[in-house]
Structures are given as C-alpha cells and as structure tokens.
Structure 1
Amino acid sequence: MTDLVRAQAERFAALDPRLPPFDDPPEGEELSAALPDGREVGGVLYRAYHGPGTPESLWAARENWELTPVLGNTGAAGMAALLGALRRRLDHTATGADSACVVAWPSRDADVTRVLLDHGLVPLNALAVRPNRPPEAEAPNGVLVRRARPVDEEEVVALRLAELEYSALVGSNVLRQDAVDVVTADVRRGLVFGGRSWLAEMDGVAVGLASCGWSTPAPGSAIAGRLTEGRWGYVGTLSVRRDARGGGVGRALMAVAHRELNLDDVPGTFLFYSPVNPLSSVFWHRQGYRPLWTFWEVRPAGALR
C-alpha cells in the first residue's frame, strides 16, 4: 500500500496543517477493495475487546472493530468501496449486541461525510485540539478553585459519575454495572499518585471538577497517529453539577487547568468530546478547541450498511 500511503499523506497535509504526517497504518487484518474504474484502496481492521473492570469499557463497546482506511486520493469513492468490503467481512463474523464499528477520519474532510452517513455511521466522538494561549477567565465571585486531594475522593467520584451518566445519553460512553467501582479505582489512583484534578467549590460544596494531565502519542496509545510528536496537555474530564451550570464554573476550572498545562514544551492541549452533546459542542469551541479527528461509529457492528 506504499503508493496509497504516500497519496493519503499528501491529501491529509493539504486538508489540515495540524494533522500529523500519515505513515504506515497500524498492524491488523488487511482489507482491500476495487473501485469501478479499477483503482484499488486498502485498510487495516483492528478488533479490541474491553472487558469488565476496564476504564475503556465505560467509553466504548465491549467489542470494538476499528478500521483505518488507506484511500490514497480517492476520497468518497474510495471510502464507499472500503466500507462495502468491511460490510462483507462482517457478514462472516458473529458480532454481539455490545459491539461497534469505528472509523476515525480527519474532521475537515467533508467530501466523505455523506458516504459515512449512508453506511450507518454517526459522529459520536471527536478529538479536538487547542493551541497554547493565555487563559481567558477567572473564577467568578463565590467560586473557589483548588487542587483535589485524597480526602476529596467522594466528591470527585460523584462528579465523574454525573459526567458519565450524562455522556452516556449523548455520546459513546456506556453506564455499566461496575461503573462505580471502575471510576472509584481510577480516581483513587489519580489522587494518590499526583494526578492533576481541580475542584470548584461554592460555599464549601464541590460543584465542578476538571481532571487533566499530559500525554504523548506513543505507539499503542489512544492518540497514536492522531497528534504530532511531543508532549501534549489533555483534559480527561470536565464536570459541573446541573444546578451550577451557566455561572462560569466550567470556564474558571479550565482557566486554572490551561494555566497548569500550557508549558513551554507543550504545543497545546487536546480532549475527546461528543459532537452531538449539546453542552460540550458549544463549550469547547468557545474555549478555543476545534475538531481534528472525528470518530464515526455504528452500534452494533452488524448494523453497518
């Protein structure tokens, strides 16, 4: 697929200067498809299983089939042919109800949108980036933002679960039976081992949470091949209690988080959000984030058209 990889790298570079250079696709099962004019396209299919007790099981289906298309410069026609090949591949596999097909594709490539929709895929998640810039807000009167401590575990867990419950309504997250245990264990690790989490308080009551940190697009990570090399700041969770929304709590939390994350060697920050979430899709754009990759998904996997 060398020629296809080279052509796709050129296409991506022209689409969006913030995309990392497209290199060889990850390892997995290779797919191929032919266009009516005789041109061929390819892709790599990777199956992951997220078992009980894993953090990934809270934001993805148990059985996840992720396709990395290698279309060269064929655009919509190439995507249509490859998704047809994927549909035929899944016809020979028993996929359960808790399964999904996922295709990550540059958000600015509008030419392929109609094809993805026609095959039953919907944009349930996006990776968005924000270049370093000065924070734009301070805490409003009556709001105190401070670092979360181990003694705050109960409040942090409650805010994390509230965000998970809402996101499960409007995105790819899943509220599973073991969610409390999984979230509690993750929160405890972060608070004990120095994770970057901030609480917003009003009259001594926790009303908001921001959990952040730094990450690199290392092989095997969730952002491998999605961001340019180097250390990036990331926002893992932002949660504001329903009765405290609209008063600047989220902006105040992110002002503190961005001030901490925007180090000299960090090109910017990234996060994942749902484009169909009516809160996230407005708030994050106002914070200076814009989508770089969109994750198109269909559940169950067998529903791919």
Structure 2
Amino acid sequence: MEIEKTLFDAHRARFASIDGFLPEAAPAPVVGERVDAATAAGVQVTGVVQRQLHGPDDVPLLWSAADVRQLFPFIGNTGTEGMDVLLRAWRAWMDAESPGEDSSCVVNWPSRDAEAIRAFLDHGLVPMSALAVRAGGHRDAPDAEGVAVRRARRDDFDTVLAMAVSTHDYIGQVATRHRPNAAELLAPALERALDKDLPLLWLAERDARIAAFAHGAWITSSPGSAEAELLPHGRWGYVNNVVTLPGLRGSGLGRTLMSVVHKEFAADGADGTYLYYNPTNPLSSVFWHRQGYRPLWTSWEVHPASALR
C-alpha cells in the first residue's frame, strides 16, 4: 500500500532522529486496510491495519493473541498529536469489528520515541514485549560458584521441555496468555535444536543437576530481508529462550550461562545479539538490562482488541 512520499520521507527522518541504531524505516505493508486522520493544523497521517489469525496449534500463540490487529503508523514529524489522532481513527475503525476475548490491537514502534509513548498510554496500550539488542563482543562476567555450562544432548529433552513449560506458565501471569497446550507448542523447536550435532542450546548445571538453559539461533539481517526491517545489517545471535529453575533464580546462574553464550556467539562472528523480553516481567526486565541489552523496538498492545480507547 503506497504512502504519500512527503509523509514517508518525514517518517524515515523521524526514525533516524529517534535512534541511530534503527535500520532505515520500512515502507508500508502491501496488504492491509488503510486508516487516515489529520492533526488540528490539517497535517495528514495514516496507518495500515493488518489482521493475523492463529489456530490452536500455531506456535505464535505462545506470545500472541489468537486474533491480532496490527497497526503500522506513518505520522511523519507530528509527534504525540499525530499518533493520538491516528489511534482515535483506529478506535473508530474498530467499531465495525467484533473481536473476541482472545484478541489484541498491536503497534510495534521504536522504543525511544517518548512522544509516541504518551499517545499509546492514553489509548490503553501497554508495553508487552521489547526487542532488545546487545552490540559488540563478549565481556567477561564473574562465574557463579559450582556452575558448569555445556551444550545440551538429546537425552536432556524432557528436562528442558518441562523447564520451558514452567517458565511459560510464569510469564502467563505477567505478560502473554497462558496456553494449556504449551508443551506441544514448545516441543518442536527444542527437538529441532537437539537434532543438530552442536545445538545452540546451552545448559547450566549445579551439583550435576540442570538448573538453567539458553536456546539460541543465528539470524542474518540482509538487504530486502524481513529481519532488516528490525535490525541493522549483519549476522546476529538470537537468544530465543532463557530459563532458570524457580528456586535458583537470583543466584548467578543466568549470568554465568549467558556469559558463555555471548562468548561463543562472539567467537563465531556475531555482530551482536538480540532477544525479546517482556517489560512487564519483573525478572527479565531487570536481568537483560544488566547483561548489556537495551530495547530497540517495543510492542504496544491492548487485550482484548475492543479495549482500545
């Protein structure tokens, strides 16, 4: 869907001024419904709404509502007012919709745009997830006493899966929805990781017992790729999931584990690492900042979609 050149140029200039680490702003999605609005001075702003539906066996249900309406805003340099009038127009557009309980309205936006944050809060949106980046190489961290880190093996599957489900259940209290079939949704990715000769799945053991794990992947952001809309070009280590047993959190296990993960990613040529965390999670929101990560993009959401103000 084409956006007016002057508005799109202002949109790109705004992103560049907000955060120098952001990639060049992507064009509007080709598919979607357009929402238009104007400021008091008559400056036009617009957005494209896309709808995504997830079935009961779809992995995105681990972090997403089943029925998602995502807005891609283009507000140029209009700041809080431009985002506010566009969200008002989206709210009016939503009056013709009939979203159910398992639904959401979502806007993914640069984390450092304080003017937009004001509008998001005023319309009932909350920061549900953040894409955070850690640029540069490895920095040594003190090891927790008595902790050994190794790569996972196939016979670790049952233990790792049970830990992942436990963490999903915890996150269901503070961020995403609880899914009763979480084990079935989590299992395939872990199985694929363990089928590799050297899986990107690290375990931290204490007293010969698995106490934490980290699951990663390699991601390349190249011109024209979907990843290039979110990350600077380069080879990135992706930290998909990190889990520590509940009774051992805060004992340095996660720090020791991630020190090894970061060291190995850096040794294999990563330009940086990135991950998603929940700002509403009282554990991860503190831990990842201490590991050198900072938010680049924040997903602002309201559940159910009809709660958009």
Q: By the TM > 0.5 criterion, same fold?
A: yes
Query: Residue 30 of structure 1 aligns to which amino acid in structure 2?
Result: R
Query: Residue 17 of structure 1 aligns to which amino acid in structure 2?
Result: G
| Aligned length, in residue pairs | 303
Deviations 1:177-210, CA, capped at 9 Å, x for gaps? 2211111222112211354001111111111010
- Structure 1 CA distance, aligned partners of 2:183 and 2:62? 10
1:42 counterpart residue number: 46
- Secondary structure of 1:100 counterpart: strand
Query: Residue 215 of structure 2 aligns to which amino acid in structure 1?
Result: S
Deviations 1:39-62, CA, capped at 9 Å, x for gaps? 100111111112112210110000
1:297 counterpart residue number: 301
Query: Residue 94 of structure 2 aligns to which amino acid in structure 1?
Result: L
- Specify whether residues 158 and 271 from structure 1 end up closer, same or farther in structure 2 by C-alpha distance, changes over 3 A only: same
- Structure 1 CA distance, aligned partners of 2:81 and 2:210? 51
The partner residue of 1:111 within 111, 115, 134 is: 115
Structure 1 portions without partners, runs of 5+: none
CA shift at 1:220, angstroms?
7.7
1:191 counterpart residue number: 194
2:86 counterpart residue number: 82
The partner residue of 1:63 within 61, 67, 92 is: 67
TM-score for both structures, normalised by structure 1: 0.95
- Structure 1 CA distance, aligned partners of 2:294 and 2:277? 10
- Secondary structure of 2:234 counterpart: coil
The partner residue of 1:22 within 25, 46, 49 is: 25
Per mean C-alpha deviation after superposition, the further-off stretch among 38-47 and 21-30 is 21-30
Query: Residue 29 of structure 2 aligns to which amino acid in structure 1?
Result: P
The answer as to whether partners of 1:139 and 1:145 remain within 8 angstroms in 2 is no
1:253 counterpart residue number: 257
- Structure 2 CA distance, aligned partners of 1:55 and 1:257? 25
1:214 counterpart residue number: 218
- Specify whether residues 195 and 68 from structure 1 end up closer, same or farther in structure 2 by C-alpha distance, changes over 3 A only: farther
TM-score for both structures, normalised by structure 2: 0.93
CA shift at 1:69, angstroms?
0.5
2:161 counterpart residue number: 157
1:137 counterpart residue number: 141
The partner residue of 1:178 within 152, 157, 181 is: 181
- Secondary structure of 1:17 counterpart: coil
- Secondary structure of 1:116 counterpart: helix
The answer as to whether partners of 2:129 and 2:276 remain within 8 angstroms in 1 is yes
Q: Does 1:6 align with 2:9?
A: yes
The answer as to whether partners of 1:195 and 1:213 remain within 8 angstroms in 2 is no
Per mean C-alpha deviation after superposition, the further-off stretch among 291-300 and 126-135 is 126-135
Deviations 1:18-45, CA, capped at 9 Å, x for gaps? 0011131222222211112111001111
Please provide the CA RMSD for this pair. Answer: 1.6
Query: Residue 161 of structure 1 aligns to which amino acid in structure 2?
Result: V
Per mean C-alpha deviation after superposition, the further-off stretch among 193-202 and 115-124 is 193-202
- Structure 2 CA distance, aligned partners of 1:29 and 1:117? 24
- Structure 2 CA distance, aligned partners of 1:264 and 1:37? 53
CA shift at 1:144, angstroms?
1.1
CA shift at 1:263, angstroms?
4.8
CA shift at 1:265, angstroms?
4.7
The answer as to whether partners of 2:137 and 2:263 remain within 8 angstroms in 1 is no
Query: Residue 247 of structure 1 aligns to which amino acid in structure 2?
Result: S
- Structure 2 CA distance, aligned partners of 1:264 and 1:156? 25
2:232 counterpart residue number: 228
- Specify whether residues 224 and 55 from structure 1 end up closer, same or farther in structure 2 by C-alpha distance, changes over 3 A only: farther
- Secondary structure of 1:93 counterpart: coil
CA shift at 1:228, angstroms?
1.5
Q: Does 1:274 align with 2:294?
A: no
The answer as to whether partners of 2:71 and 2:106 remain within 8 angstroms in 1 is yes
CA shift at 1:15, angstroms?
1.1
The answer as to whether partners of 1:8 and 1:72 remain within 8 angstroms in 2 is yes
- Specify whether residues 141 and 102 from structure 1 end up closer, same or farther in structure 2 by C-alpha distance, changes over 3 A only: same
CA shift at 1:137, angstroms?
2.0
- Structure 2 CA distance, aligned partners of 1:289 and 1:281? 10
Structure 2 portions without partners, runs of 5+: none
CA shift at 1:236, angstroms?
0.5
- Specify whether residues 46 and 274 from structure 1 end up closer, same or farther in structure 2 by C-alpha distance, changes over 3 A only: same
